[in-house]
């Protein structure tokens, strides 16, 4: 299956949406600039997607948020802004260098007191969280290595309560998710996520295709029953 060619109008519409509904944000712009200077991959969510995450977290009244995949903290800032002053966000990052950039960005954005960054393999950290005293989150955003998406789903369910919202990013992969012979190494793990959710009575889920500055992809949205 050939990959899609990006249409410049997709990014133009994203810019239009951001200009009309989001506006300029110095802290978020600085975070992206710091990420570029540090050589982090430019795989952050778009501003429109970041605002969507924030609205979803606010919509469920999230007081505790879990993020799997911090990168430079761009999406973390969006999510932390959805919290009340007594809320808490735990974000997991494998790479200590990425985590250091994220810590700087999050602190500079003024939400550092709300955010805890845990460094190490996410499955190990998630196992530790499952054994903790307060192992329930209201909103869980997963944007990390796709090879472990099915495992992250299992942990997310264990760390949820009825009504917890789960969001998985990058679940369309320019249509390659339909191709069991895809040469994209991230496709098998994404397909395993869908397989794990199919007929899962604990999860009510859908997935939405998106186009924009991040090309053709999509996200999976679910509620734990």
* Tens-digit pLDDT profile for residues 100-150: 999 999 999 999 999 999 999 999 999 999 987 777 999 999 999 999 999
Report, as an integer, the average pLDDT of 61-85.
97
> pLDDT value at position 6?
80
How many C-alpha atoms does 119 have within 13 Å on its Cβ side?
Answer: 10
- Going by C-beta distance under 8 Å and a sequence separation of 6 or more, which residues neighbour residue 62? 82, 83, 87, 137, 138, 139, 165
- Give residue-wise pLDDT tens across range 154-191: 999 999 999 999 999 999 999 999 999 998 999 999 99
> pLDDT value at position 1?
45
> pLDDT value at position 4?
58
> pLDDT value at position 3?
52
- Picking from 28, 113, 41, the residue whose alpha carbon sits closest to that of residue 73 is 28
- Chain-wide mean pLDDT for the chain? 95
Q: Would you tell me the crossing angle of helices 149-158 and 122-130 to the nearest 10 degrees? A: 20
> pLDDT value at position 133?
73
> pLDDT value at position 203?
97
Please determine, looking at this structure, whether the domain spanning 17-224 carries the CATH number 3.40.50.150.
yes
Could you tell me if 96 and 130 are in contact, meaning their C-beta atoms sit under 8 angstroms apart?
no
Cα(223)–Cα(225) distance, rounded to whole angstroms?
A: 6
Domains of the chain, residue spans: 17-224
| Sign, Cα dihedral of 224, 216, 184, 94 | negative
In this prediction, what percent of the chain has a pLDDT beyond 70? Answer: 98
Report, as an integer, the average pLDDT of 196-202.
95
- Give residue-wise pLDDT tens across range 4-54: 578 999 999 999 999 999 999 999 999 999 999 999 999 999 999 999 999
| 95 or 214: which leads in pLDDT | 95
């Amino acid at each position: 299956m050939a990959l899609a060619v990006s249409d410049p109008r997709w990014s133009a519409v994203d810019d239009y949406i951001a200009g009309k509904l989001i506006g300029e944000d110095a802290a978020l712009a600085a975070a992206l600039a710091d990420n570029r200077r540090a050589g982090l991959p430019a795989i952050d969510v778009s501003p429109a997607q970041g605002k969507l995450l924030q609205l979803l977290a606010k919509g469920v009244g999230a007081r505790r948020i879990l993020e799997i995949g911090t990168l430079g903290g761009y999406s973390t800032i969006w999510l932390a802004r959805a919290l009340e002053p007594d809320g808490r966000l735990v974000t997991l990052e494998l790479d200590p260098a990425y985590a250091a950039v994220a810590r700087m960005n999050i602190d500079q954005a003024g939400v550092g007191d709300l955010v805890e960054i845990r460094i190490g393999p996410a499955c190990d950290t998630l196992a530790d969280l499952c054994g903790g005293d307060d192992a329930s989150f209201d909103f869980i955003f997963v944007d990390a290595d796709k090879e472990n998406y099915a495992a992250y789903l299992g942990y997310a369910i264990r760390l949820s309560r009825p009504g917890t919202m789960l969001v998985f990013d990058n679940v369309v992969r320019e249509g390659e998710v339909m191709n069991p012979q895809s040469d994209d190494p991230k496709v098998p793990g994404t397909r395993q996520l869908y397989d794990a959710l199919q007929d899962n009575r604990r999860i009510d889920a859908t997935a939405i295709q998106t186009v924009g500055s991040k090309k053709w992809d999509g996200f999976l949205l679910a509620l734990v029953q």
